[in-house]
Amino acid sequence: MGDRVPKGRLVRGSKLGRLAAGQALRGMGTRLSMIGRTEQARQVLAERSTLQAAQQLVTVLGGLKGAAMKLGQMLSVLDVDLLPEAHREMFRVKLAELRDQAPTVAFPAMRTVIEGDLGPMARVFADFDETPIAAASIGQVYRARLHDGRAVAVKVKYPGVDDAVEADMRNLATFSRLWKSMLPSAADTDVLDEIARNIGSELDYVREARTQHRVAGRYRGHPFVTVPDSIEEYCGPHVLVTEFLEGAPYQRIRALPNAERNRIGELIYRFYISSLFTDFEFCGDPHPGNVMLAADGKLGFVDFGLYHSMDPVHVELERACLRAAGEYRGDDLYDMWVQRGIVDPQSGVTAQECLEYVWAAAGWHLVDEEITITPELATGALILAVDPRAAEFRGMRQQRLPPEHVFSRRSDLFTFAALGQLEITNNWHRIAREWLYDEPPVTEIGRETARWRAGAQP
């Protein structure tokens, strides 16, 4: 790759195609079932046109970076074993590149960005490793050491990436089929504006530094979770400096024994899902690259560019809808959705369809039994949400998802997908009852966390 990100609207606004499959996650009553769906998914993915479009997608997105590459990262949670065997390795490699191994920008260009924000590097850093340790959608991460001896991670924007993302935002109409395949009702103007606002917030490193500092403070002393603090005095519009978190990546977590993976899975659930309903905040970017296991056994979380606060009124609506679905109160769910403008009462969508849709999309919070989230199951859930050709819930797909719920639903979906990468087993409903019904925790992690929270209150 060259030293700058392609940023012209015409260059970036090419027709990209879409990746779609026909597998669905179904769950009504007490069981989630994938029976009979796997072969259908393979057949859809085997269509030549779909494979060609998907190959173009992963290839082009990796070169564009910016908001376009963020879509590629979203796709990286797909279970490639559902692809025809002849194509699996190509997709595995391409998606790994999008998630973990994005093309790098030569350091002289990145040094110019760093010094543009911080001045001469020698004034700030006693040592700086010029080889990036990670590359993501809008920047690269380096390891360095401050003059006071602290090891730090330095996230630096790619030169020109602000203009590139701005071009992507102007091109949302061009990308509309991709956005629509990733998020319900994404062709809606209000929703597109919300996507643009939130994706654009990733460019605001000053905001991210403040957010990370606040979240790090919230989790300081937590018995199971650690969040590295930002060092705000060395953060600028294009450079973000944080404490360095030494830890095992997701790939190594996948190799741990079942009991340890299950423990980690509960922590991931609590960090990405429970936080919305307990703190009215959540991270909108749950994916394997943002989670690592620290040497002291705590689970570390990084990257807060898409961290959101949510109006308690909207959170309470989501809670009430999930409770209604879990209690099979379809009429109540339908009425809430009509009042909120989610369902058009003239559309023909029924209360039963609303109930079944919630169970299919969020049933893992509602089923009172142990569920093992496998890559296949997680991919099925993703396809249910993203495949615009699926016959199931066609009426629901034409309804309007309010923009303020776009990223909370995305976070839920991709947390499920991330857990599928670890093949985690738990009774998720028993954890969810803490925030669904304000019940006391029943797991040891939950009880210990509650004791810590009680002791941490001023």
Residue ranges of domains in the chain: 9-99, 165-198
pLDDT over threshold 70, residue 23 = no
Mean pLDDT of 327-355: 89
Cα distance between residue 233 and residue 216, in whole Å: 16
Q: Over pLDDT 90: what percentage of the chain?
A: 42
Q: Over pLDDT 70: what percentage of the chain?
A: 61
Question: Chain-wide mean pLDDT for the chain?
Answer: 75
Q: What pLDDT score was predicted for residue 375?
A: 78
pLDDT band at 38 (very low <50, low <70, confident <90, very high): very low
- With 0-12 / 13-18 / 19 or more C-beta atoms within 10 angstroms meaning exposed / middle / buried, residue 312 is exposed
Which tokens hold the place of 6? 């392609």
pLDDT band at 9 (very low <50, low <70, confident <90, very high): very low
The 10s digit of each residue's pLDDT in 414-454 is 898 889 889 999 999 999 999 999 999 999 999 999 999 99
Cα distance between residue 426 and residue 370, in whole Å: 5
Q: Which helix (H) or strand (E) holds 294?
A: strand 291-294
pLDDT band at 364 (very low <50, low <70, confident <90, very high): confident
pLDDT over threshold 60, residue 246 = yes
Mean pLDDT of 196-204: 69
Q: Which residues contact 57 (CB under 8 A, 6 or more apart)?
A: 16, 17, 18, 19, 72, 75, 178
Pairing of strands 281-283, 371-373: unpaired
Q: What pLDDT score was predicted for residue 193?
A: 60
Cα distance between residue 99 and residue 287, in whole Å: 9
Q: What pLDDT score was predicted for residue 192?
A: 53
Q: Residue 260 in 3-state DSSP? A: helix
Q: Which residues contact 337 (CB under 8 A, 6 or more apart)?
A: 321, 343, 354, 399
Highest mean pLDDT (candidates 88-102, 129-143, 375-389) = 129-143
Q: What pLDDT score was predicted for residue 211?
A: 94
Give the least confident one: 197-206, 258-267, 297-306, 338-347: 197-206
285 is catalytic: yes
Which tokens hold the place of 17? 């195609």
pLDDT over threshold 60, residue 159 = yes
Which tokens hold the place of 56? 């173009």
Q: CB–CB of 442/407 below 8 Å?
A: no
Which of 79, 162, 285, 387 is catalytic? The answer is: 285
pLDDT band at 266 (very low <50, low <70, confident <90, very high): very high
Q: What pLDDT score was predicted for residue 161?
A: 78
Cα distance between residue 355 and residue 332, in whole Å: 10
Q: CB–CB of 102/136 below 8 Å?
A: yes
Inter-CA distances, 81 with 57, 69, 176, 260, Å: 18, 22, 28, 25
Q: CB–CB of 287/73 below 8 Å?
A: yes
Mean pLDDT of 355-368: 83
- Give the phi and the psi of residue 295 in degrees, each rounded to 5: -60, -30
Q: What is the DSSP letter of 309?
A: E
